[in-house]
Structure formats: C-alpha cells, structure tokens
C-alpha cells in the first residue's frame, strides 16, 4: 500500500478516505478467494432456503385462512353480542332489515350475506344426530359458491325452496340418507317447547373438512327463519343470527373492522373479524409459524459464524499489516472501520446471492406451486379448514423487508468482534510476529 493514500490530519494521526477503505475492504475479501466463496455460498444457500421455507409457510397459512373465511363467517361477522361465547337459537338479530341498511350505509366494499345459524336435531327413520342448520339467502353466498363444486351427489337447493337441504357425506352416512330422503329437523325453544320442520335432501357434498361434513346442514334462509318465528321473531323484519361480510380487498380488513365496530357495536350487536371468530386457528398458525422462525434463527447463526470465521481468520493473518498501518499513524477507529466494512461487504454479497437463489426459487414455486396433496393424501384438513392440494409460495413486501433486515443486522453484529480484534493491535507487538 502506498503511503500517499494516508492523509495526515494531526501529528501522529492519519486517516483513509472512505472510498479507499471500501476498496481495500473489497480487495481484502478476495485475498483468499476460495475461503470467501465457500463462506458466501454457504450463507447464501442457507438464506435462500429460509426464503423458500418461509414463502411456503406463508403460502400454506394464507391458503388455510382464505378457505376458512369462505367456509366460515366471512372476513367480518356482525352478530348478537355474546353469541360467540354462548350460542343459542333464541339469540338473533330481530330487525335484520334495519341492520342490513346500517351496514350498507357504511359503504362496505364487498358482499354482505345474511345468515341464520341454528342448533338442531336431524332425524331419519335410521338415526338421529345433532346438527348445525345454516340458512343461506343466496346461491352467491361465499359458502355456497365454495361447496357447490364439491357436491358428490344431487344438486343445490333452489332459492326460495323451504324444504330443500344439502348435507355433508359424513352426516349422510350417519343418517343413512340419500338424495331425496326426508330429514326431520327439530329444535327446542327458549320457552321449553319444541318445533320441527321437514327437509328433503337435495344434494350431498364433501367439503374435505370432517367436522363440517359430519355436522352441517345447509338450507334456504326461509326454512331456517321458520325456527326463528317459533322463537317469536317477526318474519317481516327479516330476522337473522348474523351477517357475514366478505371484503373485496382483504388487506383492508383492519380498517373496515374498526369502522363496523364503531358504527354498529352496541349492547346487543357486535362486529368481529375472522381472528376473533376463529381464535383456535390463529393460535395454530402462530405455533406453526414459530417453527419457521426457529429455522430462520439457525440460518442467522450460520450467517454470524460464517462471517466471523472468514473475517477473523483474515484479521489474524494480517497482524503485521495492521501493525504497519498503526505505525504509520492510522488510528484505531479507522482500523476498526476497515475490518467492519469487510464484514459488511461479505454480508451484503451473501444477501444479494441469497435473494437470487431464494427469490428465484420463490418465483418459480409462486407460479408452479407444490402438490402437497400427493404428499399428504387427503389429510390436508386442520382446525376446521383445509389447504388446497396445490400450495403456492407467497411472500409479502413486508416479509421481504423483515428477512433482509434480519440478515443485515446479523451481518453488522458479526463484524463487531473481528473489528475490535484488529483495532487492539499494537504496532510493536504486531511487527514482531
């Protein structure tokens, strides 16, 4: 190194321009090309693997959430306060018309589906089982659109059909009911009386969620409303037990959930988002995601040790060089910065190559997907929802920023010890080695 690159600022003191220090740091990295390449490839491969794994984890979770929302009660649910904790047939929204007008007045961008959910006893001459009767107002309801393609026998009930029902294949087996069979639906009232309605099986579906196939009975909302009339409801007010709201833009969930809570919440009505409606699913996703973050933590450890090993070995091999720089007047602070820049450059290279590997794999799997159905068979159901047979990798921009920031912080942390080690070199001791 030429002494002309050293700029004297005071007697016994010297400094290197930042551009010169960056150039020296870059050259120092490639003094031992093989060691640097091996470290770079190992870190980049590990980081790329973490990107792919987290992409598939997010993709699988988002897929489960979308299916749970479609099969469940929407992005946001408006229902009687206390119904979630203590569901009962006598808990309903008596004036569905007025409440629907309030929701529409808020300008919610999406569909608002009135529903009636009841606990009933389904009976045939062969057997009786507890069931959940769900009255739907439209064939365009998200649940109806989700389950219609999954009919394995018969057809969907027509709008206004106050006798037609559609049941899951699990319930069909329990009741020994086929398409066309009569099923008596019975429920008790709050006053202690009982009421019954006759339904006829129009179709049988397989939702791929056993709890739903064994329990759910779908019907036109008119049939379900007959039970509310037995509880004293006025049919002219269109009573319902809930409104399921499906947003056009799921990313706007937080905004519209707050608007609905502000505009509708009262002593009798409450608006809940899907997380509040399905707390068990939220807990499952949190625990499952924890495994991915543990894997990411191992990758961060690999990054730290890889960079520390490479830079520290380089520092120990250049003790005499550092001693000479110190003897020429280069301060400890500049020497520390020089070594720190080496760690920084190595980390940035690893992140760049890692994103090339992991990002390229992510883009491939984002379009092609992976057939988990072939790996898991039909066992893709969990927590009241399921994953589609083909799962695609998904990475949000926030996730990209998180991954990049974590690796960047790990890079900065890994350069601290080698830099301090280099800065502690004394000219006399170094020149004697």
Q: What is the pLDDT of residue 375?
A: 63
From the number of C-beta atoms within 10 Å of its C-beta (0-12, 13-18, 19+), residue 272 rates as buried
pLDDT in tens, 7-52: 544 444 556 677 887 888 888 778 878 877 887 887 788 788 888 8
Q: What is the 3-state secondary structure (H, E, C) of 14-60?
A: EECCHHHHHHHHHHHHCCCHHHHHHHHHHHHHHHHHHHHHHHHHHHH
Average the pLDDT over 206-216 and give the result: 88
pLDDT of 1 > 50? The answer is: no
Average the pLDDT over 259-286 and give the result: 91
Band the pLDDT of 2: cuts 50, 70, 90.
Answer: very low
Residue 217 in contact with residue 134, Cβ under 8 Å? yes
Q: What is the pLDDT of residue 8?
A: 47
Residue 135 in contact with residue 228, Cβ under 8 Å? no
- Complete DSSP assignment for 150-190: GEEEE-PPPTT-SSEEEEEHHHHHHHT--TT-EEEEEEE-T
Q: What is the pLDDT of residue 417?
A: 74
The domain segmentation of the chain, as residue ranges, is 3-67+282-432, 73-276
pLDDT in tens, 74-94: 999 999 999 988 889 999 999
Q: What is the pTM of this model?
A: 0.79
* Range of weakest confidence among 206-215, 303-312, 421-430: 421-430
């Amino acid at each position: 190194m030429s002494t002309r690159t050293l700029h004297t600022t005071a007697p016994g003191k010297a400094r290197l321009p930042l551009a010169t220090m960056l150039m020296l740091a870059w050259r120092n990295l490639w003094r031992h090309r093989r060691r640097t390449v091996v470290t770079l490839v190992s870190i980049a491969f590990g980081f790329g693997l973490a990107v792919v794994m987290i992409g598939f984890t997010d993709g699988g979770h988002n897929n489960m959430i979308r299916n749970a929302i479609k099969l469940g009660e929407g992005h946001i649910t408006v229902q009687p306060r206390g119904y979630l904790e203590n569901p009962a047939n006598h808990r309903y929204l008596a004036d569905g018309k007025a409440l629907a007008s309030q929701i529409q007045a808020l300008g919610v961008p999406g569909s608002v589906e009135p529903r009636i959910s009841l606990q009933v006893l389904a009976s045939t001459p062969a057997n009786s089982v507890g069931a959940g009767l769900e009255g739907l107002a439209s064939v365009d309801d998200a649940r109806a659109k989700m389950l219609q393609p999954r009919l394995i026998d018969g057809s969907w009930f027509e709008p206004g059909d106050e006798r037609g029902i559609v049941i899951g294949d699990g319930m069909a087996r329990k009741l020994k009911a086929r398409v066309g069979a009569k099923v008596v639906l019975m429920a008790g009232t709050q006053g202690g009386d009982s009421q019954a309605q006759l339904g006829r099986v129009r179709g049988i579906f397989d939702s791929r969620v056993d709890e739903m196939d064994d329990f759910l009975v779908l019907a036109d909302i008119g049939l379900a409303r007959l039970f509310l009339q037995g509880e004293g409801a006025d049919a002219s007010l269109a009573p319902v037990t809930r409104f399921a709201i499906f947003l056009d833009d799921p990313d706007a969930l937080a905004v519209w959930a707050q608007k609905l809570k502000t505009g509708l919440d009262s002593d009798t009505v409450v608006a809940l988002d899907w997380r509040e409606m399905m707390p068990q699913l939220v807990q499952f996703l949190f625990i499952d995601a924890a495994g991915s973050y543990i894997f990411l933590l191992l990758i961060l450890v690999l990054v730290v040790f890889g960079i520390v090993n490479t830079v520290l070995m380089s520092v120990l091999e250049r003790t005499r060089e550092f001693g000479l720089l110190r003897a020429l007047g280069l301060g400890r602070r500049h020497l520390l910065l020089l070594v720190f820049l080496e760690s920084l450059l190595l980390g940035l290279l690893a992140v760049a190559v890692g994103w090339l590997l992991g990002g390229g794999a992510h883009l491939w799997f984002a379009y092609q997907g992976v057939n988990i159905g072939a790996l898991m068979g039909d066992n893709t159901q969990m927590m009241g929802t399921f994953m589609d047979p083909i799962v695609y990798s998904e990475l949000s921009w926030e996730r990209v920023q998180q991954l990049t920031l974590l690796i960047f912080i790990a890079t900065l942390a890994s350069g601290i010890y080698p830099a301090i080690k280099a800065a502690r070199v004394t000219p006399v001791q170094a020149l004697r080695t």
